[in-house]
Amino acid sequence: MKATVFLGGGRITSALASGLRLAKYDAPVVVYDRHPQKLRQLKKLYGVDTERDLHRAVERAKLLVIAVRPASVDALLREIGKIDCPLAAVSLAAGIPLANLRSALGPQVRWARAMPSPACRSRRGLTALVFDRSFPVAAKREVKALFAKVGTVLEIPDGKFDAFTATHSCSHGYHALATLASEARKLGLDRRTALTAAAHALADGIVAWREGSIGLETLLDEAATPGGIAAATQKAVDRAGYSRAVAAGLAAGMNRARRNAKLA
Ligand SMILES: NC(=O)c1ccc[n+]([C@@H]2O[C@H](COP(=O)([O-])OP(=O)(O)OC[C@H]3O[C@@H](n4cnc5c(N)ncnc54)[C@H](OP(=O)(O)O)[C@@H]3O)[C@@H](O)[C@H]2O)c1
């Protein structure tokens, strides 16, 4: 039986395999990677099938998922060579546009891009998708269904992928959590209390906003009484350059994505 085949068994494949297992995804999943210990671990943790030979892995694919780092994509695609039967392929590689992938494996291979977040691990993912015009309708349904198993799916234009990638990374939240908790510890909170308070500050209100119907402006007003502690904190954070810091971070992400585009 043909499978969903991941080429690359690293971080994002591990997150997706975990989420798919939680979702009881019943289509066969095969992972290929050059590190046998990663394959053993993926098999043990998530019950995926593994493949040590690249060409055998590709032959087993109904859907081929490119899950190596952007700098490794070109070499991997060259190693695969031209494929002479129809195949749907999805690249997870950040920054590499469809135009650079389109002809890489020959005209029989149709391409899509997916940009999942590692929160797919717990089925709280968010994945952007884009399909090349010629992508078969049935395969499109399969790709959407695959990522919908592990979270929310959005279709956005290829040209918006870099901005989405720089914005949707869970690293923003983890980074903010680590920074807020670390500063709270300097004020005397123990590690556990600092992390609990910081996680509440960052996550719980946002979950309530997402699940409720009250606007962000209203919630922000409710949480920061004029003249109060939250208002003073927010003002000081803004004065210290909060927006500038976020803008600089996103600009660096966009630049990195543009450099990735030149790799394939
Ligand atoms: N991590 C995320 O949250 C995330 C989210 C969305 C999209 N992505 C995209 O997903 C891709 C993978 O990211 P990742 O974080 O999972 O990277 P990763 O942890 O480095 O995993 C990639 C794996 O592929 C292996 N590999 C590379 N080239 C290979 C080849 N020619 N043959 C066999 N194995 C090969 C790597 O081995 P080596 O270490 O020896 O190279 C590594 O084990 C990237 O393009 C990234 O932009 C990642």
| 263 compared with 154, residue with greater pLDDT | 154
In CATH, what class is 171-260? mainly alpha
Give CATH 1.10.3730.10 domain extents, the chain.
171-260
Pocket of ligand 1 (CB under 6 A): 8-13, 33-35, 38, 67-70, 72, 75-76, 79, 92-94, 115-116, 118
pLDDT at position 232: 97
Q: How far apart are CA 225 and CA 229, in angstroms?
A: 8
Q: Give helix 191-199 / helix 171-186 axis angle, nearest 10°.
A: 130
| 182 compared with 263, residue with greater pLDDT | 182
- Atom nearest to 76 CA in ligand 1: 31
What is the chain's length?
264
Q: How far apart are CA 127 and CA 125, in angstroms?
A: 6
pLDDT at position 26: 86
Per the CATH hierarchy, to which homologous superfamily does domain 3-164 belong? Answer: NAD(P)-binding Rossmann-like Domain (3.40.50.720)
pLDDT at position 171: 95
- pTM score, whole prediction: 0.95
pLDDT at position 42: 98
- Atom nearest to 35 CA in ligand 1: 43
Average pLDDT over residues 231-250: 97
pLDDT at position 264: 66
Average pLDDT over residues 93-115: 96
Residues forming beta bridges with residue 130, ordered by sequence position: 113
Residues forming beta bridges with residue 109, ordered by sequence position: 87
State residue 79 phi and psi, 5-degree precision: -65, -35
Cβ contact 31:9 at 8 Å: yes
